[in-house]
């Protein structure tokens, strides 16, 4: 009887009736004693050449499920021809797996939900342990963080990882098999095979697509419907799989009709069921549809925010072709989204969706590009810790302290610990978090965003030095007047040139080939490989002729290939060094001080590593020292220089309860500060993150540069072929030279053309300027968050300013107040209860005014802010409705007191109780000192200046008149939607037709202080957020952040953009001029001047250095 418990699928249906035209039954081979139905896991077509199907089945023993244990025979398999074996067919094509076989695992079919439990998580973790064990076998140099499985249980690291990855899905859905199969992994509930090293390597080599095609539910013999119990009878011989030879009963010969092998979903599919009347084309369509569904699952995971943000530091990128290769390699990975790269920063940033492994993505990147990558942790809550006894792997497998979220291996002695600082502090983690074992804080690592570039510079420098040492003897033997010993000198030159060609230039070969094969890119490395290999091979052939006694008239030029490689390395080293120095010069993270002076409760002072600060700590800031992190002054007073952070040149006075910013420099006083933000997550890190965001983004002009660079190398290859052909023709037809001599001379011109051209200058023209400009602007208190803002700001046609907090200082004061007849104290008390907790500048000014009069707030329930209108709430007990806000919302425009306030240019603030006016306030604000000069400069440049505000008409007109702004450009009583509509009108040209005739497309810059301005910031071409205080800018939606509250920052934005665009234009012009004349000189277009091939390697140095110099000169520009 069939399995009925549900573990093997649905209850079996009766066997299909015997077909009248079926073949007669065959007699099983008596020597074997097994039929083709035997075995718990039947795989049809064992003669298949596919290792993933038949090979794996033949080579590996398979564990059986309980449902497939030996059972007595039943009448389901009648041995009347259903088991006839087909003759071997040459190169058969297996049928694709059915969608249901991919999406449904044997454990899920027929079982009540949920079908998975915690044991499935243990199985997944155990699988990872086995995988790491195989990795160690394959590569003895691998540092394993796995503690190995013990007694069938996974190690702590993989157990924690499995729970973090799948626990929420398991709890919500009760099944994780679908997610695993969609990602190309084996279901957690399938009977697993005993892994061997070879099979594990095969599995790792398979791509996700092949994994989807090969992994089905065939591992369980009883999944398909209609499986009869007799077909599951087993006579399995331990440790082997016997090959059956089913023969025809008619003549005893093998069946002649070949049948393509296929994966058997069950015994019924393999031998006891009819051929499914489904065409091969339909099955292919089903399979492709299933692969699409797997991709859809990844997209759904991304939509559910199941993603991990990854930052990689990349070593080995030298030119724009390298970045293109990086983008294409990561861009095609199915689990990678939101990819950003930077050649200048040597960095890649992206999201990994679903349950995909970041390690697998990194291995894929290194394998296909020859780059080296290292993951960067940009969170403040992580520490590098030295393991006791130098055993980092043992520390990882210990129980993790509460609050630790991840432990990653750095090297054999060091681990990186990520933790929640609100649960466990850094000092507590180091001193008491790991039980009896004492751990120590590892020395601080350099900024990984800069360290990758530094490592690359050092490596290229060492290789350049080695190449120079090997090249100098070759040059001496080639050019010095030495005795005639050609064979001896050439033999020594051959040995040295071979070392240079395969040790120094050797890494160019795999990079060039992998770029061409995997990314379909012909990059600069290919030009180097072609030119140096041509010179080396020609010299090698010429040396062979010399040894044989038939020297060529041109002789050997080993000095050409060696000097060429050396000069290329010199150019790359100088360019990389200049690029790295430029990036370091504008690094904001360098402002972070490494130590802090901790003050305990008894007043004792201890110098500690700044990374060990915890929330609530108090540290001491001595005179003329840098503040280690953000905090609030507890005691003391001083003046602090915040110019490196905010650009404010004048020192800022600090006293008790004043906020201080990390990286600022204390003056002559002494301060005691309580920590509010930890190092690594303070203002320095926030600004550095926003600056890096701008560096990683690409303006639209970069697309033009990338497009030109993509065509550059193929065009140069074509020009090289033309040069070779032309000079051969000139030598033979014009100069009457022998063909051999003409070819050799033509080769020298072709090599020079190949190597002198350089697309690197084109690739660096834009990003180098963007990187330097972002850093220079940050030093002046302007933080760009997108490169596009730098590109378009110089074309600004309209500047729109919010009034309160932007043009004015935002420090409102009550200049006039009026109360209705009645109990004024009750009115004041109710008003304070309503607005006392509101942060809006107007409400805060009224609340401060009432508090100074000694008013106590009444109980008001449910106070809420209505954007662009005011505040409303309900009086506790009586239920009276309270409202406070602008006169338009409260329908008090015609009230005499309101009219009186507005006529004096004040901002009106009204208060009503149950619909009746109870109080009217007139508030005034002071204009910022630099507002008038900034507006005047903008108007002189022909930029239209506007004011849009939610304030009353009189206040807006008063400010506009003081600044000289036309009344037609003033808008009052604007809600956020009104501001958005006004900006749309300017962008569309409907509000200023005169401007649109002068400029092709309006560019609108909106500047606000962030209060009710989010919609306008997003709508404008450039949204500028004026930050008040310099500590909370991470959540701003603006494109640019002014770190100090001064309107002059707008002029800085325009100046940085103008100078950046000029330098980008110069870089493009220089790149064009250099490559044009360099290629003409190398190709011999000028009669008396040419670039010899041995000196063509200087091309990269000559082309790149002016580009870098033009960008670096921004640091000394007048901005």
Q: For 489-530, what is each residue's pLDDT tens digit?
A: 889 999 999 999 999 988 888 888 887 777 777 777 777 788
Give the Cα separation of 186 and 170 in Å (integer): 16
Residue-level length of the chain: 1119
Lowest-pLDDT range, 45-54, 398-407, 826-835? 45-54
Interval 424-441 mean pLDDT: 76
Question: What pLDDT score does 736 carry?
Answer: 87
- Statement: residue 193 has pLDDT above 60: no
Continuous H helices in 989-1046: 993-998, 1014-1019
Of 425, 406, 426, 424, nearest to 416 by C-alpha is 406
What single DSSP character describes residue 389?
A: G
Crossing angle, helix 1099-1112 and helix 1048-1082, to 10 degrees?
A: 170
In the block, residue with structure tokens 């230039």 = 505
SS3 331: helix
As a whole number, mean pLDDT of residues 584-609 equals: 83
d(CA 746, CA 752): 10
User: Does residue 795 or residue 574 have the better pLDDT?
Assistant: 795
Whole-angstrom CA distances from 80 to 15, 18, 32, 863, 916 are 13, 9, 18, 85, 99
Distance CA 159, CA 137 (A): 22
CB atoms within 10 A of CB 588: 24
CB contact set of 148 (below 8 Å; sequence gap of 6+): 129, 133, 155
DSSP 808: B
Rounded Cα gap, residues 466 and 463, in angstroms: 5
Residue-wise pLDDT for 318-352, tens only, equals 777 788 888 888 888 888 888 888 877 788 888 88
Assess contact for 681 and 719: CB atoms under 8 A: no
For position 991, what pLDDT does the model report?
A: 67
| Per-residue pLDDT tens over the stretch 939-979 | 999 999 999 988 778 888 889 999 999 999 999 888 888 88
Instruction: Choose the weakest-confidence range: 145-154, 778-787, 1058-1067.
Output: 145-154
Pick from 947, 929, 923, 930: which is nearest to 840 by CA?
923
Bigger pLDDT: 650 or 192?
650
End-to-end CA distance of the chain: 88
What is the per-residue pLDDT for 681? 82
Q: In this predicted structure, which of 14-18, 323-327, 685-689 has the lowest mean pLDDT?
A: 14-18
Judge whether 166 and 128 are in contact, CB under 8 Å: no
> Exposure string (b/e) for 402-418, b if CB count within 10 Å is 16 or more?
ebbebbbbbeebbbbbe
- Tokens 């290792």 found at: 51
pLDDT attached to residue 415:
86
Percent of the chain whose pLDDT exceeds 90: 17
Q: What is the pLDDT of residue 48?
A: 38
Integer Cα distance of 930 and 1052 in angstroms = 13
According to DSSP, the residues that pair with 446 across neighbouring strands are none
Distance CA(35)–CA(45), nearest Å, equals: 14
Q: Catalytic residue at 49?
A: no
Is residue 309 within 8 Å of 337, Cβ to Cβ? no
Q: Are 805 and 841 in contact (CB under 8 A)?
A: yes
The predicted model gives 635-662 an average pLDDT of 82
More confident residue, 765 or 147: 765
For residues 702 and 56, the model is more confident at 702
More confident: 155 or 529:
529
Calculate Rg over the CA atoms of the chain: 38
| Percentage of residues in the chain having pLDDT higher than 70 | 69
Give every CB contact of residue 226 below 8 A, 6+ residues apart in sequence: 12, 13, 15, 16, 266, 268, 273
Q: What's the rounded Cα separation, in Å, for the pair 194 and 995?
A: 75
CA 51 to chain centre: 36
Element (H, E) at 732: none
Confidence of residue 141 (pLDDT cuts 50, 70, 90): very low
So what's the pLDDT on residue 882? 92
| pLDDT, averaged across the chain | 74
Q: What are the percentages of helix, strand and coil residues in the chain, rounded to 5?
A: 45, 15, 40
**pLDDT for position 1061:** 93
Per-residue pLDDT band at 87 (split at 50, 70, 90): very low
Within 10 A of 738 (CB to CB), how many other CB atoms are there?
A: 11
| CB neighbour list of residue 909: distance below 8 Å, 6 or more residues apart | 842, 846, 884, 885, 886, 920, 921, 922, 923
Structure token pair of residue 147:
């503690």
Q: Are strands 347-353 and 595-599 parallel, antiparallel or unpaired?
A: unpaired
pLDDT band at 355, cuts 50/70/90? low
- Coil, helix or strand at residue 860: strand
Strand positions, DSSP E, 858-937 = 860-866, 870-875, 881-885, 907-913, 916-924
Contact 901, 1018 (CB under 8 A): no
Residue 304 has pLDDT above 90, yes or no: no
From 34-38, 560-564, 879-883, the region with the lowest mean pLDDT: 34-38
Residues 6+ apart with CB under 8 A from 118: 170
Cis, bond preceding 724 (omega within 30 deg of 0): no
The model's confidence at residue 635, banded by pLDDT at 50, 70 and 90, is very high
The backbone region for 879, taken as left when phi is positive above 0, alpha when psi lies in -120 to 50, beta otherwise, is left
| Distance, CA of 103 to CA of 122 (rounded, Å) | 22
Taking the C-alpha atoms of residue 1017 and residue 178, their distance in angstroms, rounded to an integer, is: 43
Whole-number pLDDT of residue 726:
94
Strand pairing category for 652-654 and 881-885 = unpaired
Q: What is the pTM of this model?
A: 0.58
Query: Cα–Cα distance between 141 and 421 in angstroms, integer?
Result: 35
Average pLDDT over residues 600-604: 87
Task: Place 4 in a pLDDT band, splitting at 50, 70 and 90.
Answer: very low
What average pLDDT score do residues 1065-1083 get?
91
The single residue listed with the structure tokens 């920052």 is 1049
Q: Which of 58-72, 581-595, 1055-1069 has the lowest mean pLDDT?
A: 58-72
Angle (CA) 712 718 721, round 5° = 145
Q: Which stretch of 310-324, 651-665, 683-697 has the lowest confidence by average pLDDT? A: 683-697
pLDDT at 261: 40
Tell me how far apart the alpha carbons of residues 719 and 244 are, in angstroms, rounded to a whole number. Answer: 64
Which DSSP state fits 194? Answer: P
Q: Active-site residue among 38, 122, 490, 802? A: 802
Task: Please answer whether residues 42 and 36 qualify as being in contact, where contact means their C-beta atoms are separated by less than 8 angstroms.
Answer: yes
Alpha helices in 386-523 (DSSP H): 392-396, 426-432, 448-479, 486-499, 508-518
841-854 b/e with 16+ CB inside 10 Å = b? bbbbbbbebbeeee
């Amino acid at each position: 009887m069939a399995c009925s418990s549900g573990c093997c699928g649905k209850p079996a249906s009766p066997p299909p009736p015997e077909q009248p035209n079926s073949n007669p039954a065959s007699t099983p081979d008596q020597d074997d004693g097994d039929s083709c139905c035997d075995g718990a896991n039947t795989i049809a077509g064992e003669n298949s050449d596919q290792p993933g199907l038949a090979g794996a089945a033949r080579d590996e023993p398979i564990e059986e499920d309980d449902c497939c244990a030996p059972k007595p025979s039943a009448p389901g398999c009648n041995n009347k021809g259903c088991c006839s074996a087909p003759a071997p067919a040459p190169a058969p094509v297996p049928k694709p797996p059915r969608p249901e076989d991919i999406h449904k695992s044997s454990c899920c079919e027929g079982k009540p939900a949920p079908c998975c439990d915690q044991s499935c998580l243990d199985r997944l973790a155990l699988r990872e342990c086995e995988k790491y064990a195989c990795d160690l076998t394959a590569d003895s140099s691998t540092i394993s963080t796995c503690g190995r499985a013990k007694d069938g249980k996974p190690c702590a690291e993989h157990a924690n990882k499995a729970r973090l990855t799948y626990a929420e899905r398991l709890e919500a859905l009760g099944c994780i098999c679908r997610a695993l199969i969609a990602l190309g992994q084996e279901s957690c509930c399938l009977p697993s095979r005993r892994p061997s090293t070879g099979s594990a390597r095969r599995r790792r080599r398979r791509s996700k697509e092949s994994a989807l095609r090969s992994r089905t539910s065939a591992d369980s013999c009883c999944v398909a419907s209609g499986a009869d119990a007799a077909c599951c009878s087993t006579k399995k011989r331990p440790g082997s799989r016997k090959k059956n030879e089913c023969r025809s009963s008619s003549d005893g010969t093998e069946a002649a009709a070949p049948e393509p092998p296929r994966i058997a979903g069950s015994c019924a599919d393999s031998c006891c069921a009819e051929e499914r009347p489904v065409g091969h084309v339909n099955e292919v369509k089903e399979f492709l549809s299933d692969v699409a569904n797997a991709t859809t699952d990844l997209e759904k995971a991304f939509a559910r925010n199941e993603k991990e943000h990854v930052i990689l530091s990349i070593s080995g990128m030298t030119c724009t072709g390298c970045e293109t290769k990086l983008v294409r390699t990561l861009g095609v990975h199915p689990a990678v989204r939101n990819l950003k790269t930077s050649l200048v920063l040597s960095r890649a940033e992206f999201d990994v969706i679903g349950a995909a492994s970041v390690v697998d993505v990194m291995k894929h990147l290194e394998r296909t590009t020859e780059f080296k990558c290292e993951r960067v942790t940009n969170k403040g809550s992580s520490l590098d810790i030295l393991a006791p006894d130098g055993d980092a792997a043992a520390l990882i497998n210990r129980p993790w302290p509460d609050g630790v979220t991840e432990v990653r291996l750095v090297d054999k002695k060091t681990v990186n610990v990520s933790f929640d600082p609100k649960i466990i502090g850094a000092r507590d983690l180091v001193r008491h978090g790991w039980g009896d074992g004492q751990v120590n804080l590892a020395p601080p690592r350099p900024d990984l965003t800069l360290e990758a570039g530094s490592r690359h510079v050092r490596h290229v420098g060492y290789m350049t030095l080695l190449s120079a040492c090997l090249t100098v003897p070759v040059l001496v033997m080639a050019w010095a007047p030495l005795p005639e010993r050609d064979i001896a000198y050439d033999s020594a030159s051959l040995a040295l040139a071979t070392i240079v060609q395969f040790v120094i230039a050797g890494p160019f070969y795999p990079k060039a080939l992998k770029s061409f094969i995997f990314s379909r890119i012909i990059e600069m490395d290919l030009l180097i490989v072609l030119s140096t290999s041509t010179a080396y091979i020609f010299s090698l052939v010429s040396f062979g002729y010399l040894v044989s006694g038939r020297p060529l008239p041109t002789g050997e030029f080993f000095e050409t290939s060696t000097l060429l490689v050396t000069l290329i390395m010199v150019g790359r080293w100088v360019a990389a060094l200049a690029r790295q120095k430029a990036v370091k010069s504008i690094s904001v993270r360098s402002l972070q001080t490494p130590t802090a002076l901790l003050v305990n409760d008894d007043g004792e002072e201890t110098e500690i590593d700044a990374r060990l600060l915890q929330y609530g700590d108090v540290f001491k800031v001595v005179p003329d020292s840098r503040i280690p992190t953000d905090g609030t002054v507890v005691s003391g007073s001083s003046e602090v220089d915040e110019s490196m952070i905010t650009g404010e040149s004048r020192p800022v006075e600090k006293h008790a309860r004043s906020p201080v910013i990390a990286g600022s420099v204390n003056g002559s006083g002494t301060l005691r500060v309580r920590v509010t933000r930890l190092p690594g997550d303070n203002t320095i890190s926030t600004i550095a993150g926003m600056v890096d965001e701008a560096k990683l983004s690409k303006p639209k002009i970069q697309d033009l540069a990338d497009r030109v660079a993509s065509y550059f190398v193929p065009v140069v290859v074509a020009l090289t072929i033309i040069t070779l052909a032309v000079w051969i023709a000139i030598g033979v037809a014009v100069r009457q030279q022998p063909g051999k001599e003409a070819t050799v001379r033509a080769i020298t011109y072709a090599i020079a053309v190949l190597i002198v051209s350089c697309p690197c200058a084109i690739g660096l023209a834009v990003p180098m300027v963007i990187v330097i400009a972002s850093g220079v602007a940050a030093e002046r208190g302007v933080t760009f968050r997108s490169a596009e803002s730098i590109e378009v700001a110089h074309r600004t046609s309209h500047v729109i300013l919010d009034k309160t907090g932007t043009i004015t200082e935002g420090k409102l004061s009550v200049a006039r107040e009026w109360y209705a007849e009645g109990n004024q104290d009750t009115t004041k008390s109710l008003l304070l209860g309503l607005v006392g907790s509101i942060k809006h500048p107007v409400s805060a000014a009224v609340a401060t005014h009432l508090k100074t009069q000694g008013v106590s707030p009444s109980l008001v329930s449910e106070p809420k802010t209505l954007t662009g209108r005011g505040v409303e709430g309900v009086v506790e007990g009586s239920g009276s409705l309270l409202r406070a806000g602008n006169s338009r919302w409260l329908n008090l425009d015609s009230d005499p007191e309101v009219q009186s306030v507005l006529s004096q240019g004040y901002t009106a603030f009204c208060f009503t109780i149950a619909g009746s006016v109870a109080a009217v306030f007139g508030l005034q604000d002071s204009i910022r000192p630099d507002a008038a000069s900034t507006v005047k400069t903008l108007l002189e440049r022909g930029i239209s200046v506007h004011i849009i505000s939610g304030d009353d008409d009189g206040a807006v007109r008063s400010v506009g008149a003081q600044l000289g702004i036309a009344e037609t450009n003033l808008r009052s009583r604007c809600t956020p939607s009104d501001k958005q509509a006004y900006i749309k009108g300017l962008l569309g040209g409907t509000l200023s037709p005169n401007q649109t005739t002068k400029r092709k497309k309006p560019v609108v810059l909106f500047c606000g202080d962030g209060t009710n301005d989010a919609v306008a910031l997003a709508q404008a071409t450039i949204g500028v957020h004026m930050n008040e205080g310099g500590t909370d800018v991470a959540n701003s939606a603006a494109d640019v952040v002014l770190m100090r509250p001064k309107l002059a920052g707008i002029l800085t934005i325009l100046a940085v953009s103008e100078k950046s665009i000029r330098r980008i234009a110069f870089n493009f012009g220089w790149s064009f001029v250099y490559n044009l004349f360099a290629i003409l000189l190398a190709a011999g277009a000028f009669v008396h001047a040419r670039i010899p091939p041995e000196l063509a390697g200087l091309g990269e140095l000559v082309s790149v250095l002016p580009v870098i110099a033009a960008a670096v000169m921004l640091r000394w520009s007048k901005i």
